[in-house]
Amino acid sequence: MSRLGLLFRRELALAWSGGGGPLLALAFYAGATTLVPLSTGPSVQRLAEIAAGLAWVVLALASLLPLERLFERDFEDGALDLLALGPLPLEAVAAVKCLAQWLAAGAPLALAAPLAAASLGAPLSLAPLILATAAIGGLAFAFVGGLGAALALGSRRGGLLIAVIVGPLLTPPVIFGGGAVAAFASGLPWREGFLFLVAYALAAMALSPIAMAAACRNALS
């Protein structure tokens, strides 16, 4: 267990310094909340309608940003060799990397999401559900995104490849999470969407480490 903690602390420090942390979240949401009223027009009612959905779009896009460095920096400087020769299987290493990525980048984004939605005029009663779906959705984004990052290892212009691989896989959680919030806002049943989001996140956490480890082994050979 101590090795897991050791690796987690290192990954957290790397993710925090390399494009994660509260500043990323604040910059992204500040940009979105100031640009959207400028581009859609200042109709208060329209902004309030799209506020929750917009928070989800920003979450998905911001989650793509740090992915390129997730495995690539360890691959480039040889640290991935050492991680592979450590006491834990690569599957566990990959899962720890994604969890740390989520804590450093996804969690601050999830915390900022209800604020951004509220500042665009979404009702405050939505805030708890936006926070919960953004936190769980961010977990799914981190693991699915890690898969894209591992598959793109060693290719030049990896960021582009990651976006192409990960884009379609981000669609279901956006539909489930954004849908649950929209249903809640209009008084419709929302639990199903929320449960589907949880199921998607759990499936991503269970399956993607296996694929990430296989992709890393392939890149190392």
Partner 1 sequence: MIAEVLAHDLALTRGERRLFSGLSFVVRAGEALALTGANGAGKTSLLRAIAGFLAPAAGAITFHGEAGLLESEDARRAHVHLLGHQDGLKSGRRAGDELSFLSLWTGADRAGIEAAVEALELRRVLSLEVRKLSAGQRRRLALARLIASPRALWLLDEPLAPLDTRHRAGFGALMRRHLEAGGLIVAAVHDPLPVEARVVELSP
Which residue, 85 or 124, has its beta carbon nearer to partner 1?
A: 85
In the list 23, 27, 44, 79, the residue contacting partner 1 (rule: CB under 8 A) is 79
One residue of 27, 31, 34, 81 binding partner 1 per CB under 8 A:
81
- The answer to the question of residue 10 lying near partner 1 (CB under 8 A) is yes
Judged by CB under 8 A, which of 32, 67, 83, 96 binds partner 1? 83
Q: Write down the least CB distance from residue 83 to partner 1, Å.
A: 8
Distance CA 62, CA 67 (A): 10
For the CB of residue 165, give the shortest distance to partner 1 in the complex, in Å.
24
Which of 31, 44, 77, 188 is the binder for partner 1 (CB under 8 A)?
77
Residue 181 contacts residue 190 (beta carbons within 8 Å):
yes
Residues 40, 47 contacting (CB under 8 angstroms): yes
Q: How far is the CB of 86 from partner 1 (least distance, A)?
A: 5
Q: Please tell me the distance from the alpha carbon of residue 212 to that of residue 86, in angstroms, as a whole number.
A: 17
The correct pick among 41, 85, 124, 187 for binding partner 1 (CB under 8 A) is 85
Least distance to partner 1 from the beta carbon of 71, Å? 14
Q: State how far the Cα of 1 lies from the Cα of 86, in Å rounded to an integer.
A: 13
DSSP-derived secondary structure for 95-108: HHHHHHHIIIIIHH
Q: Cα 37 from chain centroid?
A: 25
